[in-house]
Structures are given as structure tokens and as C-alpha cells.
Structure 1
């Protein structure tokens, strides 16, 4: 009798352990904190901490919702990849953002370009992905032959590639990145190969060691990109391309963005502010370029779509070298009604709190800086609003409709306080 009882207890314990393990892998973690590797779905509950020990995969047909205030800690030894075959909804708030990061002791200036985990890699089967009030930081690991992304044929599917913070690849998918921050990544912040897209009210900084764009769009993208701040991206704030020959043709509408100190840390002449190439169609309005390496630059061997429209952008350079590189030429595109001077210091935007003498090679971002405009700024009342956006009517994702923000009458991402 006792032997039977012992056997029953052992059997029940084994079942309980198996159930706990399955719940851990499936991660329907509504109960709170957890750890995971393998397949995940369900809910990561508000305010919880999730410890990721290895690559995680949201399976096709399933979803993971990350609620406000969740901290996702990536193991710095395993350097996990976050693979999305289903749907991902990361839904932070201003007061309680979602943070996908590493343990605090690794968040140092010595590790400022990350490489301590992979990135969020969304396969073609990912129909919906939302990052709202989400911080992505300290990632961008380099792939190897053993990487899950290489084995699964994701991103560039070869060893030796530095992973972006976010890769999205479904031309029929919906991608929303709003109110979020991407920082401390080795190369590209985002690499987008299709979809109906809104990027708005985001901040990108301290990214790119030898290359890397803040926002990199390819063919298949219909994107509204507005009110973003990019500081010291190694290469461009925006790379706009129709490479890949996917349908539809890439058509990117960029408006009311502020770009500061971008492009200077890349040794080649490609780095700058906005790069257009390969028959991309782009509308570029109301953008503020402060101490960026170049103005809007084209690939002269593979130029932009002739329907591209550029107007009402403002350029400021603290020194003469910078101002000279803004001047329209064969590869630097001048726009209609642009505010562009010829002398160092022309068109000072009068930021509330940013020392415009900050060295252009500086990659360290001070969160006390304030890029709002003071009264009397030449960027005020110089923007236009009479253009059409792709998603003014909104994109509905997971029952929530996200609308690209209305353009402003000022130039840049921030008006007066």
C-alpha cells in the first residue's frame, strides 16, 4: 500500500513538473514573473520580469502580448534571438514602458553598442507587430552558423551579420512602432522589407559601430514616418530603397522628423541624413537637419523615383564644413521652399537645451537634452500640412486603430513647449 502511495506521489510530481515546464515554454505567464526559452505565447503580465535563457519563438498562428511595465532580461551568454512567426503586441505606457534589455550591470558606456542579444526578427508569417512605448536596447549580436535565424532562413540568413533591433518582412503585414526608443545597438535599428507601416514619436540613439541606419526601408513598404528623433546614427537616420523588387513599390512619406549629428561616424561617403536609391518613391517634408553629415543624398547610379517630392526642410550647421555639405549638387537633393543657408550658424533652430557645439562624432546621448524649439526659431511656421499620408485613416491591429499623426506647421519633431 505504501509502495503504491509513493508511486502515486512520484507520478503526480512528474505530471506537475511537466505541466510547469510546458507552461514555462508556452508562457501563458498571466501569473507574473517567469523565464523562458523555446516557443512562447499568451501574456506576459503587467509589471512582471521575464528572464530569457535562450532563443524564443512565437509560433505561427499564435500571439504574445507584453503588458505595460514588463522587463524582459536577455541572457548575455546565450545572446537570445526573439523570433516572431505569429504576432507580437508590446504595449507599454509612458509611465510604464516595456523594456527588452539586459541585466543592469551590463548597461555601461563600455558596452554602449550592445551585441548582448539578437533582435526581434519577424518572419513572413507574422501578420501583426506592435511596439508601443517599448525600449529596445543593448542588442544586435552577430550571427553564426548556429544561429536560429540563419537556420530558419530569416533576415539575411548568413553567418557574420549584425542583427537589427527589428526586422519585419511581410508585405501584407501591419507594423506599428510608436512612442518607443531604440538605443545601444551594434548596427541597424530597423530593417523593414514590407508592410503597411507607421513609425511615429520614436527616439533612436547610440547605434552603429561601423554601419547602420536608424530606419531602413526596402521594397514592399508603404510607410508613414513622422515626429521621430534620431541622434548620432552611424550612417543615415533614414535609408529609403526599393531594393528587393517586392510589390508594392516602396513609398515612404517622411515628415516632421529631427535628425542631429547623424552620419559622421561612418568612414565612407554614404553616411549622412536621408539616403534615397533604387527607384524608391519618397515624400520628404518638414524635416530638421542639425549638424548632419550631408543633406538628402541620392545614389547617383541608382536614383529615386521621379515622383519623389522634397520640400520645406530646414538645415543647420554649426561649422562651415557641415553647411557646405548641405548645398544641392549632383548627389545632394535640394527641395522646394527649403530653409538652407550658406554660412556656418545660419538657421539656428534654437533648441531648448542642446549645445550645438557638441562634437559631431559624439555618440553618447544626454537624456536631459530638449529638442523643442524656442520662440523665434526659424523652424516655426515653416512647415506644410497639405499633403496626403498613407495611413491618415488608420491601421487596425489587434482591435486598436493606430493613425499616423497629423503633420505640423513647424519643421522638426517638436514645436514649442
Structure 2
């Protein structure tokens, strides 16, 4: 009987050890993954539902990968203000119900730190081949570099002290970057700054980014990108900044479609932009985008204009404020597209959102109760086109999984009828 009981205990232990959801002790630290405190080099897997405290700059070494599973909360130390350096691969894969979250202690998530600056950002070097953010939240970062910053010592981003780092920087022209179903909020500078790669941004929310400058999606030379179904609210300057600056190969080519831009550009101290900015020979295709209460229409740098092959169609404009409507009007700076919907009178072309007060103050904080889906009978319905090509309709493969840019829709903006 003792032998039988012993064998049963062994079998039970074996079954438990094979449970994929088991939390086991880390062999190096002796702690459980849900109690990890990290600094320096990291790789492997951060188990789902873990809490990982980052005490100093961390680095995914070249040739290695870090997988962050659903429900993981990554808490950045607000004193050390760490940077997250990626020389290898990073796969952050949450779910709608259990997103991965890069954040700070709860006490620091206040209006006082509305524009973060409490940690650095995710900075991916030229050796980072694949970076995936799926159902991931990045918040309260954008710290200023110093001479002691790892990014400065390693020559990353702008490689100088005094620079405010973005939430996400990616630089490998041969690499692959997918950001989908994610949220970037409360960052002091650019939300993203992309200097290379095959790129998909889809179904994301950007809000409250850029205290005195900065764009939501900032694309440079070396990038081929599809940007679709994103909501950008209250970016300091532009929802999209598109520039071939850097003259890397390939030339910047973006297909941006079915995005919604709301209340952008009003905190910019100069007049550089306020919705979408194009410059410096960027090759741009923009279709089915919805601009609501933004400071300007799609705007070009007249001294360094976009590539003459660029195409602009089916932009739908709404302005509650007359000064915004005046700055939607086509000119040498404001680009007139084919089949645009635009008027000269404030209040025309109400898109009929389910729940967003159109008279919301220009610089209001984001309200998670707002609903930017369309009411039945919205005039935005039927204003989109679908007869254009995407860069990655056939998808990009990251970590063995295929990610496709979504199909365009026959409405303007990021959201359909409720």
C-alpha cells in the first residue's frame, strides 16, 4: 500500500510539472516568475500573469529573444527610469482580456505625470530582426537621456544626452515590426519613431502623447508600411508624420487607410502640422481617413515636398471649430485629394459617432467611455474605397505566426457601425 501511495504521489507531481500554466522557480534567482525583479540582460519567457519589476536598463542580447505572455505587467522603476533595449527579438503577446502592460507604480499614474517621462521606451537596434506588440499597453514613458543612458553609450536612437526617447524606436531596414490591437498613451514625445523595416500598425489607440512636440506614428526612410484602423487622439502634432529623411534604402512607402484622427495638433507651439504631415520625397498613399477637429488638413512641407507619385483620396473632414475648418481648405500647403468630403462651415459633415461630444475642448484628456463607432445612417458610410494595394496583404511572419494588414473598408475612419 505504501508503494502504491508513493507511485500515486509521483504521478501527481509529474502531471503538475507538465501543466503549461505552472509557475516554477527561476533557476538563477530562486524566485517565482510572478515575483521577478530584473536588470541587465534578459531573454526567454516571462510567464503569463507575472509582475516583472524593472530596476534598471534591460537588454535583450543579439541572437536571443524575449517572449512576454498574456497578462504580464512590467513595472518600470520611476527613480532609475530604465530603458528597454532590444538587440535580439521581442514578442509581447497579450489578449484583449489580458493585455501585456508596460507601466509604472499605480501612485505615479496621475495627471501630474500625464506625459509620463517616468521610464525610457522600447529601443530596437539594427540587429533586432523581429518585434511584435500585440494587445500591449505602453504608458508613462519618454524619459530624457543622459550620458549614463544605455542608448547613448550604445549609439542608439539619436545617441545623445538630452533627447526625449519615444515609446518605440525601430531601426532595422531588413527587420519586421508589427504593432496591433495595442495602446500607447501618456508619453512625453513621439509615440513611435520608425527608421526602417517592413511594418504594420493596425487597430491601435494612441492618445495623450507629446508634451511640447511629437507625433503618434513617425515614419522615416527605410520603411515599407501599412497603417490602418488606428485611432489617434490629442497628439501634440500629427497622427502621421511621413518623411524620407535619412535617405536609407528602401525609400519610405506607406499605405495609410481607414484611420481616425481626432483633436490633433492644438498643443504644437508652431504650425508644422496637426493631422498628417508629408515631406522629403516620402512616397505616400492615403485613403479613407477621417479627420475630426484637427488643427490642419493633410499638410506638406512646400520646401521639401512628398514624392510626386503620392496618392491622396477619400479624406473625410469634420470641424467643430471654424479655425480648424479654415485650415482644412486646400492650398499650396494643404493637400487636396480625390473624392474628399470637406466644407467651409464649422459643424458640417457631422460623422455621427456613437458617443463623442464634437464640441469637446481641443486639449481635453481622453475618456475611455467615448465610442468612435458610427451610428446607423452616418454620412461617413460609403465614403471609402477598396481598390488599392496594400504592402502586406499576404502578411509578415514573426515568430512563426502570420500577421496580415487588414482589408480596407467602404467607410472612412477606423470604425464601422456599432
> In 2, are the aligned partners of 1:30 and 1:43 still within 8 Å (CA)?
no
Instruction: Please tell me whether residue 104 in structure 1 is matched to residue 106 in structure 2.
Output: yes
Q: Which residue of structure 2 aligns with residue 5 of structure 1?
A: none
SS at match of 2:392: coil
CA distance in 2, matches of 1:286, 1:50: 40
CA distance in 2, matches of 1:186, 1:271: 18
Q: Which residue of structure 2 aligns with residue 11 of structure 1?
A: none
Q: Which residue of structure 2 aligns with residue 408 of structure 1?
A: 409
SS at match of 2:58: strand
Q: Which residue of structure 1 aligns with residue 394 of structure 2?
A: 393
Post-superposition CA distance 1:373-400 (Å, at most 9, x none) = 1122111011000000000000001000
CA distance in 1, matches of 2:349, 2:223: 33
> In 2, are the aligned partners of 1:234 and 1:271 still within 8 Å (CA)?
no
CA distance in 2, matches of 1:147, 1:246: 26
Q: Which residue of structure 2 aligns with residue 241 of structure 1?
A: 243
CA deviation after TM superposition for structure 1 residue 30, in Å: 8.0
CA distance in 2, matches of 1:361, 1:117: 24
Q: Which residue of structure 2 aligns with residue 319 of structure 1?
A: 321
> In 1, are the aligned partners of 2:273 and 2:299 still within 8 Å (CA)?
no
Q: Which residue of structure 1 aligns with residue 41 of structure 2?
A: 39
CA deviation after TM superposition for structure 1 residue 271, in Å: 2.8
Instruction: Please tell me whether residue 230 in structure 1 is matched to residue 232 in structure 2.
Output: yes
CA distance in 2, matches of 1:341, 1:123: 45
Post-superposition CA distance 1:73-105 (Å, at most 9, x none) = 000000000000000000000000000000111
CA distance in 1, matches of 2:362, 2:64: 45
SS at match of 1:23: coil
Q: Where does structure 2 lack aligned partners over 5 or more consecutive residues?
A: 1-24
Post-superposition CA distance 1:24-47 (Å, at most 9, x none) = 5xx9x9844311000000000000
SS at match of 2:28: helix
Instruction: Please tell me whether residue 251 in structure 1 is matched to residue 256 in structure 2.
Output: no
Find the partner of 1:143 among 145, 168, 171: 145
CA distance in 1, matches of 2:361, 2:133: 32
Post-superposition CA distance 1:201-260 (Å, at most 9, x none) = 000001111001000000000000000000000010000000001000000110000000
Q: Which residue of structure 2 aligns with residue 157 of structure 1?
A: 159
CA distance in 1, matches of 2:273, 2:58: 34
CA deviation after TM superposition for structure 1 residue 21, in Å: 9.1
SS at match of 1:321: helix
Q: Which residue of structure 2 aligns with residue 4 of structure 1?
A: none
CA deviation after TM superposition for structure 1 residue 320, in Å: 1.5
SS at match of 1:263: coil
CA deviation after TM superposition for structure 1 residue 361, in Å: 2.2
Instruction: Please tell me whether residue 186 in structure 1 is matched to residue 188 in structure 2.
Output: yes
CA distance in 1, matches of 2:291, 2:244: 24
Find the partner of 1:68 among 67, 70, 78: 70
CA deviation after TM superposition for structure 1 residue 339, in Å: 0.6
Post-superposition CA distance 1:263-300 (Å, at most 9, x none) = 00011000310000000000000000000000000001
Q: Which residue of structure 2 aligns with residue 127 of structure 1?
A: 129
CA distance in 2, matches of 1:36, 1:165: 20
CA distance in 2, matches of 1:86, 1:229: 29
Q: Which residue of structure 2 aligns with residue 203 of structure 1?
A: 205
CA distance in 2, matches of 1:187, 1:235: 10
SS at match of 1:199: strand
* Alpha-carbon distance change, 99 to 33 in structure 1, aligned in 2, over 3 angstroms: same
RMSD (CA atoms): 1.3
> In 2, are the aligned partners of 1:35 and 1:51 still within 8 Å (CA)?
yes
Runs of 4 or more, structure 1, over 2 Å off, are 20-24, 29-33
Q: Which residue of structure 2 aligns with residue 381 of structure 1?
A: 382
> In 1, are the aligned partners of 2:284 and 2:310 still within 8 Å (CA)?
yes
CA distance in 2, matches of 1:335, 1:262: 20
Deviates more, 1:376-385 or 1:290-299: 376-385
TM-score, normalisation: structure 2: 0.93
Instruction: Please tell me whether residue 170 in structure 1 is matched to residue 172 in structure 2.
Output: yes
Q: Which residue of structure 2 aligns with residue 339 of structure 1?
A: 341
Q: Which residue of structure 1 aligns with residue 284 of structure 2?
A: 282
CA distance in 1, matches of 2:28, 2:278: 47
Q: Which residue of structure 1 aligns with residue 269 of structure 2?
A: 267
CA distance in 1, matches of 2:75, 2:323: 43
> In 2, are the aligned partners of 1:30 and 1:44 still within 8 Å (CA)?
no
Q: Where does structure 1 lack aligned partners over 5 or more consecutive residues?
A: 1-19
CA distance in 2, matches of 1:69, 1:320: 44
